[in-house]
Amino acid sequence: MRKIKLLTPVILITLLLGVTIAGCTQSAPTSPAATPSPTVNLNGAGATFPNPLYAKWFDEYYKITGIKINYQPIGSGGGISQITQGTVDFGASDGIMTAEQLAKAEAAHGPILHIPMTSGAVAVIYNLAGISSGQLKLTGDVLADIYQKKITRWNNPRLTASNPGLNLPDEPIAVVHRSDGSGTTFIFTNYLSKVSPDWSTEVGNATSVNWPGDIGGQGNAGVAGQVKQIAGSIGYVELAYARQNSIAWAQLMNLGGKYIEPSLAATTKAAEGVTLPDDMKVMITNSSSPDAYPITGFTWILAYANQTDKAKGETLVKMLWWAIHEGQQYTQPLDYAPLSSTAVTKAENQVLSIIYQGQPLLSR
């Protein structure tokens, strides 16, 4: 009996020590400097919107090259903070980094590149009995006023004016928005800020804003779920989500005065109506291209222009080159819009500008 009593704490302590020692030995090999492996793997984190595409890409890329790329879809904000802290090899974002964010990240790591990977559109969805997908027509300022709760009923004269053939009900409009911060919201509010001066001054453009109205849903699924349940509601989701779940969407008037349904072709067109700057930090909402859908945006991979590890840098630029060329074939089947040819050229130049100790890592 006595022996057992004495033994228990001893066993406990040895167990505890054992666990801590095991913990130490386990964590040792993960430090990158310790073991240079023949194939370099990359870690990335960021936007959730392109995650299905990135997952497909990195899976295909692994089959071709044997290089493993871990991508964590933690959100654009998370991607930006991880690249700022230097905990990942690349970040990903649906929004452009703000001047403040860039200053902070570039102070520590040098220039950060925004390399476009694909583009997506935001569909405006609604739930109106008897009005099927594509029948409702909206102009930008009307949409902004609906979201600002200035237009509160479906039979408002400004709505009936653009929809002469439709019998819009005398019912309140329930406005549904994203409750979580999101790149989708960034693109949507960027568009509303461009078409409505009131929206721009009173609400503004960000991944999360001070919504004047109604209901917040978590993620695309949350917004779509609320719109499906509540008669007379309006919401916005990624085009891919609306397509895959066949939710009724509205036509929107673009800058040229034409009503356009959201589609992949109309999304790619949007990039043609905008002069793309060399750094590609550009929002392509409200494009002047005659057949463009107005609420579209790029999604970017964020990369350090000055790589500090040669092997990792080489792997990264090769992967990026592959993504903007061969990778583009996987966009459409997954409901993403491929990059326009101008966008690809600009992205190529960005990838070529990535250097290690002053030397480019890739040449044509």
Contacting positions for another protein (CB under 8 A): 5-10, 12-13, 74-78, 80-81, 98, 100-101, 172, 174, 179-182, 203-211, 213-218, 222, 225-226, 229-230
How many CB atoms are closer than 10 A to CB 192?
28
Give DSSP secondary structure letters for 261-278.
Answer: ---HHHHHHHGGGS---T
Q: How far is the CB of 113 from another protein (least distance, A)?
A: 19
Chain Cα centroid distance, residue 140:
22
Q: How far is the CB of 126 from another protein (least distance, A)?
A: 15
Name the residue nearer to another protein (CB basis): 85 or 342. Answer: 85
Name the residue nearer to another protein (CB basis): 215 or 284. Answer: 215
Q: How far is the CB of 10 from another protein (least distance, A)?
A: 8
Name the residue nearer to another protein (CB basis): 193 or 268. Answer: 193
Name the residue nearer to another protein (CB basis): 89 or 214. Answer: 214
Name the residue nearer to another protein (CB basis): 227 or 250. Answer: 227
Residue 148 to residue 338: CA distance in whole angstroms: 33
CA angle at 251 for the pair 202 and 164, rounded to the nearest 5°? 100
| Token digits of residue 358 | 């002053």
Q: How far is the CB of 77 from another protein (least distance, A)?
A: 4
Name the residue nearer to another protein (CB basis): 167 or 229. Answer: 229
Q: How far is the CB of 206 from another protein (least distance, A)?
A: 5
Q: How far is the CB of 187 from another protein (least distance, A)?
A: 13
Residue 263 to residue 332: CA distance in whole angstroms: 11
Residue 107 to residue 116: CA distance in whole angstroms: 23
Burial class (CB in 10 A: 0-12, 13-18, 19+), 259: middle
Name the residue nearer to another protein (CB basis): 7 or 265. Answer: 7
Name the residue nearer to another protein (CB basis): 174 or 264. Answer: 174
Q: 341-364 burial string, b = 16+ CB within 10 Å, else e?
A: eebeebbbebbebbbbeeeebbee
Burial class (CB in 10 A: 0-12, 13-18, 19+), 58: buried
Name the residue nearer to another protein (CB basis): 9 or 257. Answer: 9
| Strand ranges in the chain using DSSP code E only, listed in sequence order | 42-46, 69-72, 90-93, 112-127, 137-138, 174-178, 215-217, 233-238, 251-253, 259-260, 296-304, 306-307, 355-356, 359-360
Burial class (CB in 10 A: 0-12, 13-18, 19+), 336: buried
Chain Cα centroid distance, residue 43:
18
- By C-alpha distance, which of 246, 297, 19 is closest to 133? 246
Q: How far is the CB of 148 from another protein (least distance, A)?
A: 14
